[in-house]
Structure 1
Amino acid sequence: MAHEFNMDLTPQEEWSWLVAIDLFLGGLGGGLFLLYQIFGLSSAVALLSLGLVVLGGLVLLSELGHPLRAWRALLKPFSSWISRGVIFVALFLIFGALYVAPAFESFSWLPWGDDPTAKKTIGAIAGAAALLVTLYPGFVLAASPSIPFWNSPLLPVLFFSHSLMGASGVVFLLAPFALNGAALPAIRVVGEVLIATNFALIAIYLLTLRGAGLAAREAVRRLSEGALGWTFQVGVVLVGMILPLAVVIWLPSAAAFAGICILIGALLFRYCVLKAGVYVPFAMT
């Protein structure tokens, strides 16, 4: 049977700012917790990471038409990355809170605070969950074959690296409050590497998708032209990466400003990825 194809390229409109904000906050929270563990940052930073993930969840609930039915997202963990993501977030919040609680006077009585093995186990689970929180949004989008621009195994890597970069931006922003101690110089170097890495990954991603079919090429075009193109090129690339990299390298005393720039770019990155999505043309019998 012969088929005709609808060649109209339809941008997705279902996911926009609120989803982008949720992905931004969740990625920041997970990435920040990882930096907290790796560099031994203040326990206040760990609390902030948990709060960011909670706030992201609340934003997402406000996006749902029936937020009281959100529990249904747990019902398909073997087939749905959204279900897995909810589980990852829950594990992170539970074990992250358990891990950091003994550091505060009110909870210093908790038994695992003085048990290195138990604390290390709880910390390992919390860290693994934080890692998965940064990764799963990329898997959610990559599992969408109808939107080729998202349907790439590189997207989860991009979300992870951007989450860590955003988290380094939070650390830079907190620099004036002395919550990072002696770790700030090391995190500054990590931030430089992350910015350069994200720049390279985005370039590779766009070059790869440019040859991945009509819908993917249209998505790449949308990121280079028009209002979305300006948002991506100025907000994500210039403000979010090039400017903070220059500041961190040549004017480290202005790290807080670099942090603000990184956070702006990290939010706009999620927004641009969502808005660039274009549905593949479908066959009409």
Structure 2
Amino acid sequence: MTAFQEIWAPWLIGPFLWFAGIAGMGSVAYVLLKWIGVEEKRKELSWTLLISMALALVFVIADLSRPWNVASAIMSAVFGGTFGWTRSWMAVGIVLLLTGLLLTLLLALRNSGVKVLAPLTDAKWFDALLALVGIAITVYSGFLIAAAPGVPFWNTPLLPVLWIISASLCAVALVKLMIHHEAMSKAATRYGVALDAAELLAIFALINLALYGGSVAAKQSAHTLAYGELAPIFWIGLVGIGVVIPLLLGLIMLKKENKYLGIAAAVLALIGALLLRVLVLQAGIFEPII
């Protein structure tokens, strides 16, 4: 059993990180689309962000051994106390997600016709705050794992970078799924191809650095992914279906946009982002005590 399986339930924290990435960089994408004047599907995108924030909260709270202590953990994170910021790591994420949840709720209500919220949600400072919170949620989700003690495979600056790239791909996927404005679709395709290539390189770098330059535990984790019990889902599910196929579809669409190929690439990229989080975390092995 790996460290991730011992500490966290794989299909609770994995989706938490996935939804956090979608909500985080999706918020940044929303702000950028608004600033360049894209009106299409703005309401649907805001509701998607709200639901993603809410689901991230559901999964992270579901993983707590005593969910009824959430309020106490949040107070500890905000005001210090027995646990403080460094001990109450989930509470930090909950605070960020609650802030994002409030912002996206106001946004979704405004886009659904609650005009009284317009002076608030249409303000530039609101956009900046939404984007800042989105980036903070994404960065937090990466450093949360990279800072976990005793698991060398996770303790690398490559992991937060990989998480940010993957979350950015999730944002591009949302754009491809919802917005079919020709110029915007072409731009999303270009960004998607670049991010897919970067993600592929980052994944291989993570595995190879651990295999050939890491500690014993890091090598065991990387071996589990590349050659061990997790290898089939890693190579076929994550690398093949989740990254390579969307990359190839993107290269095809660089020549001519195709709505259906774009939707397929977006769905596969979202699946790949979820598999990335679950597999990387599930492969984590504690450093043996010698």
Identify whether the pair has TM-score above 0.5, normalized to the shorter chain.
Answer: yes
Matches within 5 A, 1:192-231: 192-210=193-211, 211-231=213-233
**Preserved CA contact (<8 Å) 2:20 2:141:** no
Residue number in structure 2 paired with 1:89: 97
Deviates more, 1:65-74 or 1:209-218: 65-74
**CA gap 1:84/1:65 in 2 versus in 1, 3 angstroms:** closer
Separation in 1, partners of 2:64, 2:111: 36
1:224, distance to aligned residue in structure 2 (A): 0.7
Normalised by the length of structure 1, the TM-score is 0.86
- The two structures, once aligned, show a CA RMSD in angstroms of 2.2
Residue number in structure 2 paired with 1:169: 173
Separation in 2, partners of 1:100, 1:154: 34
Separation in 2, partners of 1:11, 1:95: 35
Could you say what secondary structure the match of 1:150 adopts? coil
Residue number in structure 1 paired with 2:20: 26
1:100, distance to aligned residue in structure 2 (A): 5.1
1:275, distance to aligned residue in structure 2 (A): 0.8
Deviates more, 1:211-220 or 1:38-47: 38-47
Residue number in structure 1 paired with 2:32: 38
Matched AA of 1:21: P
Separation in 2, partners of 1:181, 1:128: 28
Could you say what secondary structure the match of 1:76 adopts? helix
Residue number in structure 2 paired with 1:128: 132
1:274, distance to aligned residue in structure 2 (A): 1.0
1:192, distance to aligned residue in structure 2 (A): 1.1
Matches within 5 A, 1:182-261: 182-210=183-211, 211-251=213-253, 252-253=257-258, 254-261=261-268
**Preserved CA contact (<8 Å) 1:95 1:123:** no
**CA gap 1:130/1:189 in 2 versus in 1, 3 angstroms:** same
**Preserved CA contact (<8 Å) 1:228 1:272:** yes
Matches within 5 A, 1:39-54: 39-40=33-34, 41=38, 42-54=42-54
Separation in 2, partners of 1:184, 1:10: 41
1:55, distance to aligned residue in structure 2 (A): 1.2
Separation in 2, partners of 1:10, 1:242: 27
> Per-residue displacement from partner, 1:220-256 (whole Å, max 9, x unpaired)?
1011123311111111111111101111221541111
1:184, distance to aligned residue in structure 2 (A): 1.8
Matched AA of 2:46: A
Matches within 5 A, 1:130-145: 130-145=134-149
Q: Percent identity?
A: 26
1:109, distance to aligned residue in structure 2 (A): 1.9
1:111, distance to aligned residue in structure 2 (A): 5.6
Deviates more, 1:140-149 or 1:11-20: 11-20
1:56, distance to aligned residue in structure 2 (A): 1.9
Residue number in structure 1 paired with 2:119: 112
1:271, distance to aligned residue in structure 2 (A): 0.7
Normalised by the length of structure 2, the TM-score is 0.84
**CA gap 1:72/1:161 in 2 versus in 1, 3 angstroms:** farther
Tell me the matched-pair count: 268
Matched AA of 2:31: Q
Separation in 2, partners of 1:182, 1:44: 20
Could you say what secondary structure the match of 1:227 adopts? coil
Residue number in structure 1 paired with 2:82: none
Matched AA of 1:95: L
**Preserved CA contact (<8 Å) 2:16 2:60:** yes
> Per-residue displacement from partner, 1:173-203 (whole Å, max 9, x unpaired)?
335xx5x674222111111111111112222
**Preserved CA contact (<8 Å) 2:26 2:49:** yes
1:113, distance to aligned residue in structure 2 (A): 4.9
**Preserved CA contact (<8 Å) 1:33 1:130:** yes
**Preserved CA contact (<8 Å) 1:99 1:122:** no
Residue number in structure 1 paired with 2:276: 269
**CA gap 1:33/1:227 in 2 versus in 1, 3 angstroms:** same
